[in-house]
């Protein structure tokens, strides 16, 4: 979300999504509030600091780690304030293990992705950090049924060997798909008593791999789908996977009417030959990606537009 006021952001979210609120991220506050820094602050026995090139793993917690943790506590305080007596699903999110490995640097300046041992350590630290994070939210919002979202925008690049080295002249070797899947399965397994959504706003989302890794839902930018994705999406839906379809632009611009926003979803459904009655049970409508680059006013309108578009889809699935 845009802006830097945690209370205002949580108030907006809980007021708009009365039956499915989420814990906002406010990266405009600076390093440590961004998605990588926020998740780095959750790690257990691993620490990161800000360098000119980005976030780098260090030996001990410094001011950047303390700042990230302080902002997260501020956000949780606001969430607790505006979810008193709330009972229902509540979404929280963190960066997934492979996007984190592609973004965090080792001491030599290369991405953790370059070292299989570092990737394993990072995933284990993330898993333990997420356990503690989810336990803290359950304590603060005891009536919530937590939905964990793992943000993996770099996942396709990791699988295809497209993550650039520090020099920028080469790319890191593609990671074996079985290794990627096994690591994701371990992190997804942290939230054994609730659903896990994996989000990627990149093209060529690996739907089948994410299903095998245990994701209950896949979140994606609908505008990036091609007919090549049809078979994987059809199999996912038939296997019980929920789709979080990004239909509302994440940056300022005109919003179509709600029926226009869901036209692409209806078209996809007809192309797949799936029963229209499945739509409301299977699809959650979302912004295409984060709203941090939008104006506060647009972000509020975009969230409200998702609600109206979802009602339109439920009322008229065909």
Average pLDDT over residues 107-113: 95
256 pLDDT above the threshold of 90: no
Res. 300 pLDDT band, cuts 50 70 90? very high
Res. 216 pLDDT band, cuts 50 70 90? very high
Res. 239 pLDDT band, cuts 50 70 90? very high
Q: What is the model's pLDDT at position 177?
A: 97
Q: What is the model's pLDDT at position 2?
A: 97
120 pLDDT above the threshold of 80: yes
Q: What is the model's pLDDT at position 70?
A: 97
Specify the 3-state DSSP secondary structure of 234: helix
301 pLDDT above the threshold of 80: yes
Q: What is the model's pLDDT at position 141?
A: 97
Q: What is the model's pLDDT at position 316?
A: 84
Q: What is the chain's mean pLDDT, rounded? A: 95
318 pLDDT above the threshold of 80: no
CA–CA separation, 164 and 117 (whole Å): 19
Q: 218 near 198, Cβ under 8 Å?
A: yes
**Predicted TM-score of the model (pTM):** 0.96
Res. 259 pLDDT band, cuts 50 70 90? confident
Q: What is the model's pLDDT at position 24?
A: 97
Average pLDDT over residues 14-33: 95
Res. 18 pLDDT band, cuts 50 70 90? confident
Q: What is the model's pLDDT at position 213?
A: 97
pLDDT, tens only, 152-180: 999 999 999 999 999 889 999 999 999 99
72 pLDDT above the threshold of 90: yes
Q: How far, rounded to the nearest angstrom, does the alpha carbon of residue 193 sit from its chain's CA centroid?
A: 19
Beta strands in the chain (DSSP E): 47-51, 54-58, 88-95, 144-151, 196-200, 217-221, 242-248, 283-287
DSSP summary character for residue 164: B
Res. 59 pLDDT band, cuts 50 70 90? confident
Q: What is the model's pLDDT at position 45?
A: 95
3-class secondary structure per residue, 62-91: CHHHHHHHHHHHHHHHHHHHHCCCCCEEEE
């Amino acid at each position: 979300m845009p802006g830097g006021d945690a209370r205002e952001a949580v108030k907006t979210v809980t007021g708009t999504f009365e039956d499915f609120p989420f814990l906002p991220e406010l990266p405009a506050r600076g390093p440590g509030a961004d998605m990588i820094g926020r998740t780095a602050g959750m790690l257990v026995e691993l620490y990161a600091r800000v360098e000119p090139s980005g976030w780098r793993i260090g030996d001990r917690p410094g001011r950047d780690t303390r700042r990230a943790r302080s902002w997260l506590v501020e956000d949780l305080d606001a969430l607790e304030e505006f979810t008193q007596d709330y009972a229902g699903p509540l979404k929280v999110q963190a960066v997934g293990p492979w996007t984190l490995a592609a973004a965090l640097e080792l001491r030599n300046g290369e991405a953790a992705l370059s070292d299989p041992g570092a990737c394993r350590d990072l995933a284990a630290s993330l898993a333990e950090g997420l356990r503690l994070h989810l336990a803290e939210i359950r304590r603060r919002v005891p009536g919530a049924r937590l939905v964990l979202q793992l943000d993996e925008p770099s996942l396709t690049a990791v699988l295809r060997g497209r993550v650039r080295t520090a020099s920028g002249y080469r790319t890191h070797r593609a990671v074996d798909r079985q290794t990627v899947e096994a690591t994701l399965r371990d992190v997804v397994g942290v939230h054994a008593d609730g659903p896990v959504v994996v989000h990627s706003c990149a093209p060529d989302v690996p739907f089948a791999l994410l299903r095998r890794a245990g994701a209950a839902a896949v979140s994606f930018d609908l505008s990036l789908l091609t007919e090549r994705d049809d078979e994987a999406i059809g199999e996912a839906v038939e296997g019980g996977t929920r789709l979080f379809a990004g239909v509302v632009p994440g940056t300022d611009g005109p919003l179509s009417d709600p029926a226009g926003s869901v036209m692409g979803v209806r078209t996809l459904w007809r192309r797949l030959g799936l029963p229209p009655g499945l739509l409301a049970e299977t699809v959650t409508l979302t912004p295409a990606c984060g709203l941090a680059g939008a104006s506060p006013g647009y972000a509020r309108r975009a969230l409200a537009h998702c609600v109206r578009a979802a009602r339109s889809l439920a009322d008229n699935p065909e």
